[in-house]
Structure 1
Amino acid sequence: MKRTEVSFDRETVPLTIRQYMKGATFYDSSCSENARTLFVSGAEPAFLKISKRGSLEREYKMTKFLHKHNVAPNAIAYESELKYDYLFTEAVRGEDGTAGPHIENPSKLASAFGEYLKILHSLPTEGCPYSNRTTELLNEANSKGIDLSILKEYGYSAIDNVIIHGDYCLPNIIMDNFSFKGFIDLGYGGVGDRHYDIYWGIWTLNYNLKTDKYREIFLDAYGRSDMDHNGLNYFTKLIKLTD
């Protein structure tokens, strides 16, 4: 992930977060127009994300929840002020799935990517702060005036029964030479249908590797016995309608 050293006035952030930033050097690590992300190189490496008010609460809660299961970093502090949200999390040691050592071995990457998704989907759902991710997605589509009756052709009923990442793409998994270290950017997660994550896993491999030849390795590693072809078609259509 890119990191460009920048000057940053820590006095502009809430005191509860400021206390962790004494003597730190700051690097811009933003990858989205919706949030500014700073790598904070201090006594302990961390990330500070700043975005519009109310936009980071879900990420904070999902990160806290998954940290309890040892698959996400510790969310150290979250504050919501008049204009902005501030989320301060520990930095997971390693590199994301698009880093050179990972992307240069695409077969191993696709296999690890499928294996680690299965681990996420195998976690207990009890205590998850967001329990109806599919309903949220369908409501979002309805709010856009999309006719969802077209989904009936797949004969599939979505099931919210696993913990999903919600944005399962290669930049959002941290590994150290393919050894799993943690999931990040969890602001779209919750209890949902596994095929939503599977779709995005296929998409990101195609996008980042510029070929779809590693799709089957990914699906084999995940485990085809837990998949439903109609379920994947259902969410492929839903995502294409709402994108």
Structure 2
Amino acid sequence: MASKPQFMETPIPMRLRDALAGYEWRQDALGRSSAHVFRLEADGRAPVYLKTELVDPLGELTDEVARLRWLASQGLACPDVIAHESDGEREWLLMSALPGSDLVSEELTPPVERVRLLANALRRLHAIDIAACPFDHRLENRIETARARLLAGHVDEDDFDETRLGRSAEDLFRELEAKRPSTEDFVVTHGDACLPNFMADGDRFSGFIDCGRLGIADRHQDIALVCGSIEYNFGEELVAEFLKVYGNFEPKAEKMAYYRLLDEFF
């Protein structure tokens, strides 16, 4: 078995220990979440992913389990939850691996095609009836969660967007409250809609990952982050292609800026 970080020397829950015997471990460093993520592979067995994080009232693994199960019930592709365990110190989530690669790493497919896959996938998610979704991420709730993360010291000021570096989290929170939009255009949002959280197998969209923030919110929650991710990874010119394929939507500049501000707290 490949070497694992020191914290993994703590006991793994028995059910997981048996399930993971014989796998080679490789840590996934692409995401920005507080969880440690590993891809596990073994000859003759399907690859799986393991996420683990310290038990915390503001942790997201329990949220992700509920959302993955709900998303699958809606007929949308996402990882299967194989096991979810907690030992009082850590939570552990074992999931199936989706085919293909994330939309940053899928280099065999041209960026413009990846952007079109993303637009169509997001449009399908946003078309779900919000009455079917039990996860409420309206601003009233998300601002309170942002406040809780601020008070718990979970906001990383060193990871702010370049235009906000040097400012304090307290200063940004005051701006978050002062600039809250007066209206919200509700859809079922992914909540962390950036290119690494969408998977493709060649020219086919293969599913949504990192779904712990999925919930009912203004569609700008996703559109703001998606457009920023496209511009960062592929260039500004493909943002227009995304919006064309997504269709029937004119982004509001003030909301695009606001939801990027909100994202600094997560």
Q: Which band: TM-score by shorter chain?
A: 0.7 to 0.9
- Per the alignment, residue 160 of structure 2 pairs with none
- Per the alignment, residue 88 of structure 1 pairs with 94
- Per the alignment, residue 171 of structure 1 pairs with 196
How far the C-alpha of 1:37 sits from its partner, in A, is 1.0
Kindly tell me: are residues 80 and 135 of structure 1, through their superposed partners in 2, closer, same or farther at Cα, counting changes over 3 Å? farther
- Per the alignment, residue 240 of structure 1 pairs with 261
Q: Is the 8 A contact 1:45 1:91 kept in 2?
A: yes
Q: Is the 8 A contact 2:223 2:256 kept in 1?
A: no
Question: In structure 2, what residue type is equivalent to 1:150?
Answer: K
Q: CA RMSD in A?
A: 2.5
Rounded Cα–Cα distance in structure 1 between residues aligned with 2:194 and 2:262? 19
How far the C-alpha of 1:142 sits from its partner, in A, is 5.6
Kindly tell me: are residues 98 and 84 of structure 1, through their superposed partners in 2, closer, same or farther at Cα, counting changes over 3 Å? same
Question: In structure 2, what residue type is equivalent to 1:78?
Answer: H
How far the C-alpha of 1:123 sits from its partner, in A, is 2.2
Task: Write the deviation string for residues 98-148 of structure 1: whole angstroms up to 9, x where unpaired.
Answer: 12425x612222222111110111123345341234322232456654143
- Per the alignment, residue 229 of structure 1 pairs with 251
Query: What are the ranges of 5 or more consecutive residues in structure 2 without an aligned counterpart?
Result: 149-169
Task: Write the deviation string for residues 10-36 of structure 1: whole angstroms up to 9, x where unpaired.
Answer: 983212322321221211123336221
- Per the alignment, residue 117 of structure 1 pairs with 122
The 5-angstrom pairing of residues 1-243 of structure 1 reads: 6-8=2-4, 12-31=11-30, 32=32, 34-42=34-42, 43-54=45-56, 55=59, 56-68=61-73, 69-101=75-107, 105-140=110-145, 144=170, 145-147=173-175, 148-151=177-180, 156-159=182-185, 161-209=186-234, 211-223=235-247, 225=248, 227-230=249-252, 233-240=254-261, 243=264
Rounded Cα–Cα distance in structure 1 between residues aligned with 2:122 and 2:263? 23
Rounded Cα–Cα distance in structure 2 between residues aligned with 1:176 and 1:183? 12
Taking structure 1 as the reference length, what is the TM-score of the superposition?
Answer: 0.84
Q: Is the 8 A contact 2:13 2:85 kept in 1?
A: yes
Question: In structure 1, what residue type is equivalent to 2:97?
Answer: A
Q: Is the 8 A contact 1:112 1:221 kept in 2?
A: no
Rounded Cα–Cα distance in structure 1 between residues aligned with 2:37 and 2:194? 18
Identical residues among aligned pairs (%): 24
Query: What are the ranges of 5 or more consecutive residues in structure 1 without an aligned counterpart?
Result: none
Kindly tell me: are residues 136 and 180 of structure 1, through their superposed partners in 2, closer, same or farther at Cα, counting changes over 3 Å? same
Rounded Cα–Cα distance in structure 2 between residues aligned with 1:201 and 1:158? 18
Rounded Cα–Cα distance in structure 2 between residues aligned with 1:174 and 1:241? 25
Rounded Cα–Cα distance in structure 2 between residues aligned with 1:150 and 1:208? 28
Number of equivalences: 230
Rounded Cα–Cα distance in structure 1 between residues aligned with 2:66 and 2:180? 31
